[in-house]
Structure 1
């Protein structure tokens, strides 16, 4: 075991392993039979293969907090989705230890015609929690979200701020070993953001593993000690987060 600068324990056991991972997508350029026929007549390609990740390898140990950095299209979100199991690699393998929870699309499992209470149980189930686990955490989720008396109101009547706060509260209270965070470090107003950072710090102190994608470099520096820089689907730097940010800015 060794310690980070924040004195949070980090294990030498791998929590996430990407082993020579390549991910390709088949992109169609036509949307109808007519467009396909016209493209064929004009000898234009109707589809292309796009390589989002090209032979990427890295290991994140239990208890580490790591930022994936890079410009748009560099492969960051694809990497998160591979780790979460939403996508499968074209080549190579992705290995994870324990339960992985993803703040990738906050509120993606919410149904507008259900109440906040019903959506808490629905979304928690999607995130892998049992009914009993959700019941045990329900009061903490509602208190964290600051929804209060509106918990039994249909979420289609919520403001965008209320919706995001409740969705984030469910995800952050999930029983997990590894937390994946994609561009949600700036949800809600400033007081709520501070509460989110405090919760993330609490999870880190419990030894949870954190993998973060964000364009907010100030937030990244607050929560991550290590950075991995991707460029056009390839890993080009892996080191202390400050050095990774410098490498990103240097182009």
Structure 2
């Protein structure tokens, strides 16, 4: 079992809470703090080798769910259990953590070490990272000189080079130009065929229907459908 979520909720404080958290404001001014509950009492289990698509309208809680699974955030209430020895690669915000003053090569070395790759293993994979990113001489230039497309190419190439046990994908299948987007889809399909567990957030129902063994529909922070992709997609069309 990769993940078990038991009655998990994630709550964010809204901006208008400023000044509402003090005892004075609550007791004497009658101010009450305001919150947004991004996930509400969510219970799920995700097994090894499952390919799970997550769909829902904007604001449904999809990205919050992936941040929760990746360990970036913790639940406000409820419990989440993750398989501790699993290598998890989150493709959420591509290139987050890249230092603008460092070259592509230097950022790959630094980020690769942070992702758990040893120096020898990273060196063995570097040619593949360079070839897949296909950004030419810019690989040896500071990333502050990159276009957004080149930045995404390098980040995606690095993130998918580590043979993850779990892949968390949040709407990154369309990075770069059309040709590179096709390369990305091919790389992800290869990882899925190798048995990688994947949780994929996407509005591309065609891709999800063709690749996922299961689909989850979120609406206003709650799971309203979970099961066969065709059935869940049909329910999505009704909300």
Q: Same fold (TM over 0.5)?
A: yes
> Shift of residue 127 of structure 1?
2.9
Q: Does 1:201 align with 2:189?
A: yes
1:9 corresponds in structure 2 to none
Q: Does 1:55 align with 2:38?
A: no
Give the conservation status (yes or no) of the 8 Å contact 1:66–1:228: yes
Helix, strand or coil: the match of 1:55? Answer: strand
Identify unmatched segments of 5+ residues in structure 2.
none
| C-alpha distance in structure 1 between counterparts of 2:17 and 2:49, whole Å | 45
1:133-179 per-residue CA deviation (whole Å, 9 max, x = no partner) reads 32221111111101222211111111211111001101111242000
1:191-227 per-residue CA deviation (whole Å, 9 max, x = no partner) reads 2122111111111111100001112222322332311
Give the conservation status (yes or no) of the 8 Å contact 1:83–1:95: no
Helix, strand or coil: the match of 2:81? Answer: strand
Identify unmatched segments of 5+ residues in structure 1.
1-13
2:54 corresponds in structure 1 to 68
Aligned length: 236
Give the conservation status (yes or no) of the 8 Å contact 1:103–1:181: yes
Give the conservation status (yes or no) of the 8 Å contact 1:107–1:123: no
> Shift of residue 188 of structure 1?
1.4
1:236 corresponds in structure 2 to 224
1:10 corresponds in structure 2 to none
Give the conservation status (yes or no) of the 8 Å contact 2:133–2:157: yes
| C-alpha distance in structure 2 between counterparts of 1:143 and 1:46, whole Å | 55
Q: Does 1:189 align with 2:177?
A: yes
Helix, strand or coil: the match of 1:86? Answer: coil
Decide which moves more: 20-29 or 203-212: 20-29
| C-alpha distance in structure 1 between counterparts of 2:81 and 2:51, whole Å | 17
Helix, strand or coil: the match of 1:129? Answer: coil
| C-alpha distance in structure 2 between counterparts of 1:88 and 1:130, whole Å | 28
1:60-92 per-residue CA deviation (whole Å, 9 max, x = no partner) reads 111111111111221111111111000111222
1:28 corresponds in structure 2 to 15
- TM-aligned CA distance change 1:135 to 1:74, over 3 Å: same
> Shift of residue 30 of structure 1?
5.7
Helix, strand or coil: the match of 2:200? Answer: strand
Q: How does 1:82-231 map to 2 (within 5 A)?
A: 82-97=68-83, 98-231=86-219
> Shift of residue 94 of structure 1?
1.6
1:88-120 per-residue CA deviation (whole Å, 9 max, x = no partner) reads 112222222211110011011111111010111
1:7 corresponds in structure 2 to none
Give the conservation status (yes or no) of the 8 Å contact 2:17–2:34: no
